[in-house]
Amino acid sequence: MTKHRPFYTLILCLLMSAQSVWAGGDAASGKQKVESCNACHGADGNSLIPSNPKLAGQGERYLLKQLKNVQTGEREIAMMVGQLDHFNDQDLADIAAFYAAQTQTHSFSEEKWVNLGREIYRNGNPDRGIPSCTGCHGPSGTGNAPAGFPMLAGQHAEYLAIQLRHFSIGNRHNDGEGKVMRDIAERMNDNEIQAVASYIAGLRP
């Protein structure tokens, strides 16, 4: 089973993409509800802090899932504890819609990581059971918004590397019962994590 895990991962991604139509929230209403988010994520969702994620342009379904996971504690982020407690489901949907409607600013790759990062992102490492990232996140890192697979292109490299490390040791575990990200990240060494994070940061959505 382990030997065929990369193929299982890609199949799972395809199956998960066949989901119901997403109704969405109201971006205009969401704009009125994000004031407390601005210090960490920027007024337009483009965080200037490399360890904090850019939310601008991210898929609405993915954003809503993360907001709900943070609110319930399924995704544990110390700085977010209590921040979403006063929001109801519609509020969270509106916030997700607002950020999804914003335009993401560009990030850049470090040249020393580009070759290894490109290889891991495009081809994975079959010898160690690491699949290509393109199956779920697309060749240019745009993700699959209707399926809930996040856009990675242009995200802060530092944030991406932190999340991969969290997945690798199980500190982040909101990737579903299939454990897709945990299974992938735990097979990656630190150089591969740093390289693929840096490469992704330089992709253009």
Break the chain into its structural domains and give their ranges: 2-13+106-201, 27-100
pTM for the model stands at: 0.89
User: Is it true that 2-13+106-201 and 27-100 share their CATH fold?
Assistant: yes
Confidence at residue 20, expressed as pLDDT on a 0 to 100 scale = 44
Please check the confidence at residue 19 and state whether its pLDDT lies above 60.
no
Quickly state the pLDDT bin for 22 (edges 50, 70, 90): low
Looking at CATH, the fold of the domain delimited by 2-13+106-201 is given as Cytochrome Bc1 Complex; Chain D, domain 2 (1.10.760)
DSSP 41: H
Report the chain's mean pLDDT, rounded to a whole number.
Answer: 92
Report CA-CA distances (Å) from 110 to 114, 118, 197.
7, 12, 10
Confidence at residue 205, expressed as pLDDT on a 0 to 100 scale = 81
Tell me, what amino acid is at 151?
A: M
CB neighbour class for 97 (10 Å; exposed up to 12, middle 13-18, buried from 19):
buried
Q: Which two tokens stand for residue 12?
A: 């799972």
Please check the confidence at residue 95 and state whether its pLDDT lies above 50.
yes
Q: Which two tokens stand for residue 108?
A: 């850049």
Residue 153: phi, psi to the nearest 5?
A: -55, 135
CA dihedral 186, 193, 42, 100 (to 10 degrees): -70
Please check the confidence at residue 17 and state whether its pLDDT lies above 50.
no
Partners of 149 in beta bridges: 144
Please check the confidence at residue 13 and state whether its pLDDT lies above 50.
yes
Q: Scanning the structure block, which residue is given the tokens 């850019």?
A: 54
Mean pLDDT of 140-146: 96
Q: Which two tokens stand for residue 23?
A: 């109704």
Residue 129: phi, psi to the nearest 5?
A: 75, 25
Mean pLDDT of 95-116: 98
Confidence at residue 18, expressed as pLDDT on a 0 to 100 scale = 44
Tell me, what amino acid is at 61?
A: R
What class, spelled out in words, does domain 27-100 have in CATH?
A: mainly alpha
Confidence at residue 24, expressed as pLDDT on a 0 to 100 scale = 83
3-state DSSP percent of the chain in helix, strand and coil, to 5: 55, 0, 45
Confidence at residue 84, expressed as pLDDT on a 0 to 100 scale = 98
